[in-house]
């Protein structure tokens, strides 16, 4: 039997983080996605166990300030893409305001650290979200294009093909074929 799962990455991460902090009795306050304030300094052994357990889930603690800022940019971009009220806001303005740096500085830093532009990262994240929405099957391609603030389905389709190598229609056919095969078992 095969099942299809839809999940919210932010919720899963937050839940794992919260459980591990409580398990290791680390006094904390979650400030926002990807940001935790440790209220008391835990002993080194406990903190090492905590970080090792997080690493098993693909969650790592960032210590370099530039890398922290890049991660905040990534988190902010994902937040923008997944929030209907933020999708129409110009990303350069939103990032600059939210992170209190000029967009030029943020853009240069992002490119230096990730070897890609903020714009490319936004496109990749929008396409990943579009794929999730297509797999869930709750929205049409037109509705997905509208939800992700594309000017047209053609614009979404062009970017989708540039990123994935296939059209959204071909992607949907693959998903439907896999579902049919899974249902036959």
pTM equals: 0.69
Average pLDDT, the chain: 88
Q: What is the DSSP string of 68-132?
A: HHHHHHHHHHHHHHH-TTTTTS-HHHHHHHHHTS-HHHHHHHHHHHHSS-HHHHHHHHHHHHHHH
* 139: DSSP letter: S
pLDDT at 116 over 80: yes
Instruction: Name which residue leads in pLDDT, 114 or 85.
Output: 114
Chain segment 149-161, per-residue pLDDT in tens? 999 999 999 999 9
């Amino acid at each position: 039997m095969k099942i299809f799962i839809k999940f919210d990455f932010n919720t899963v991460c937050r839940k794992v983080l919260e459980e591990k902090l409580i398990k290791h009795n680390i006094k904390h306050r979650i400030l926002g996605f990807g940001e935790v304030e440790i209220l008391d300094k835990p002993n080194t052994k406990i903190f090492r166990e905590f970080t090792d357990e997080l690493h098993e889930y693909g969650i790592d603690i960032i210590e370099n300030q530039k890398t922290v800022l890049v991660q905040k940019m990534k988190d902010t971009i994902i937040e923008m893409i997944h929030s209907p009220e933020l999708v129409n806001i110009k990303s350069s303005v939103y990032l600059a305001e939210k992170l209190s740096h000029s967009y030029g500085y943020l853009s240069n830093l992002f490119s230096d650290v990730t070897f890609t532009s903020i714009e490319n990262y936004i496109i990749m994240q929008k396409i990943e979200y579009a794929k999730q929405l297509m797999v869930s099957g709750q929205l049409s391609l037109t509705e997905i294009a509208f939800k992700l603030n594309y000017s047209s389905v053609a614009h979404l389709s062009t970017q989708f093909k540039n990123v994935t190598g296939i059209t959204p229609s071909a992607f949907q056919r693959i998903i439907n074929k896999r579902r049919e095969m899974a249902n036959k078992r």
